[in-house]
Amino acid sequence: MKEIIEKFDMENLIEEFERLTKDAENVQKDTLKRILEVNASAEYLQSLGLNGRTDPESFKACVPLVTYKDLEPYINRIVDGDVSPILTGKPITAISLSSGTSQGKQKFIPWNDELFETTVKIYQTSFAFRNREFPIQNGKALSFIYSSKLSQAKGGVTVATATANVFRNPGYKHAMKALQSPGCSPHDVIFSPNFHQSLYCHLLCGLLCREEIQLISSTFAHSIVYAFRTFEQVWEELITDIKEGVLSSRITHPSIRTAMSKLLKPNPELANLIHKKCIGLSNWYGLIPELFPNVKYVQGIMTGAMEPYVKKLRHYAGEVPLLTSEYGSSEGWIASNVNPKVAPEFATYVVLPQIAYFEFIPLSQLDGTKVELEPVGLTDVKIGEDYEVVFTNPAGLYRYRLGDVVKVMGFHNSTPKIKFLRRSNLMLTINIDKNTENDLQLSVETASMLLAEEKMEVIDYTSYIDLSKEPGHYVIFWEISGEASDEVLGECCTCLDKSFVDAGYVSSRKVKGIAALELRLVRKGTFQKILEHYVGLGVAVSQFKTPRCVAPTNTKVLQILLENVVENYFSSAYN
pLDDT of residue 527: 92
Is residue 74 situated within a structural domain?
yes
For 16-60, the pLDDT digits (tens) are 999 999 999 999 999 999 999 999 999 999 999 888 899 999 999
Same domain, 42 and 181: no
What's the rounded Cα separation, in Å, for the pair 404 and 390? 9
Same domain, 414 and 437: no
Is residue 44 situated within a structural domain?
yes
| DSSP tag of 92 | P
pLDDT of residue 534: 85
Same domain, 231 and 313: yes
With beta carbons less than 8 A apart as the criterion, state whether 252 and 197 touch.
yes
pLDDT of residue 432: 79
What's the rounded Cα separation, in Å, for the pair 291 and 287? 6
Is residue 294 situated within a structural domain?
yes
Of residues 253, 68, 81, the one with CA closest to residue 156: 81
What's the rounded Cα separation, in Å, for the pair 493 and 487? 10
Q: Do strands 565-570 and 297-301 pair parallel, antiparallel, or not at all (unpaired)?
A: unpaired
Same domain, 419 and 457: no
* Mean pLDDT, range 94-114, rounded to an integer: 75
Domain count, the chain: 3
Same domain, 410 and 443: no
Same domain, 145 and 248: yes
* Mean pLDDT, range 103-129, rounded to an integer: 83
pLDDT of residue 532: 87
* Mean pLDDT, range 189-193, rounded to an integer: 81
Same domain, 69 and 145: no
What's the rounded Cα separation, in Å, for the pair 216 and 288? 9
Is residue 268 situated within a structural domain?
yes
For residue 101, pLDDT beyond 70: no
With beta carbons less than 8 A apart as the criterion, state whether 141 and 215 touch.
yes
Give the Cα-Cα-Cα angle 127, 226, 264 (nearest 5 degrees): 80
pLDDT of residue 431: 80
Element (DSSP H or E) covering residue 335: strand 332-336
Is residue 326 situated within a structural domain?
no
Domain boundary at 271, 294, 320, which?
A: 320
- Peptide bond preceding 254 in cis form (omega within 30 of 0): no
Of residues 408, 458, 404, 471, the one with CA closest to residue 436: 404
Instruction: Please report, for residues 224, 283, 508, the alpha-carbon distance to residue 231 in angstroms, rounded to integers and kept in the order given.
Output: 11, 13, 45
Give the range of the structural domain holding residue 556, as residue numbers without chain letter.
427-570
Handedness of CA 500, 506, 510, 514 (dihedral sign): negative
With beta carbons less than 8 A apart as the criterion, state whether 341 and 349 touch.
no
Residue 391 pLDDT grade (very low, low, confident, very high; cuts 50, 70, 90): very high
pLDDT of residue 103: 54
Same domain, 179 and 295: yes
Domain boundary at 299, 320, 341, which?
A: 320
Same domain, 409 and 460: no
Is residue 348 situated within a structural domain?
no
Instruction: Work out the mean pLDDT of the chain and round it to a whole number.
Output: 88
pLDDT of residue 1: 34
Give the type of residue at 243: K
Q: For residue 105, is it left (φ>0), alpha (ψ between -120 and 50) or beta?
A: beta
For 138-183, the pLDDT digits (tens) are 889 999 988 766 667 777 777 777 666 676 666 666 665 655 567 8
Supply the DSSP string of 402-447, one letter for each residue: EEEEEEEEEEETTEEEEEEEEETT-EE-SSS--EEHHHHHHHHHHH
pLDDT of residue 8: 44
For 362-375, the pLDDT digits (tens) are 988 876 655 688 99
Same domain, 510 and 492: yes
For residue 5, pLDDT beyond 60: no
What's the rounded Cα separation, in Å, for the pair 304 and 298? 17
Same domain, 408 and 444: no
Residue 220: which residues within 8 A CB-CB, separation 6 or more? 300, 301, 306, 542, 543, 544, 545
Burial class, 110, CB count within 10 angstroms (exposed 0-12 / middle 13-18 / buried 19+): buried
Q: Higher confidence at residue 555 or residue 161? A: 555
What's the rounded Cα separation, in Å, for the pair 70 and 400? 9
Same domain, 184 and 244: yes
What's the rounded Cα separation, in Å, for the pair 88 and 39? 5
Global pTM value: 0.84
Is residue 106 situated within a structural domain?
no
Radius of gyration from C-alpha coordinates of the chain: 24
Is residue 166 situated within a structural domain?
yes
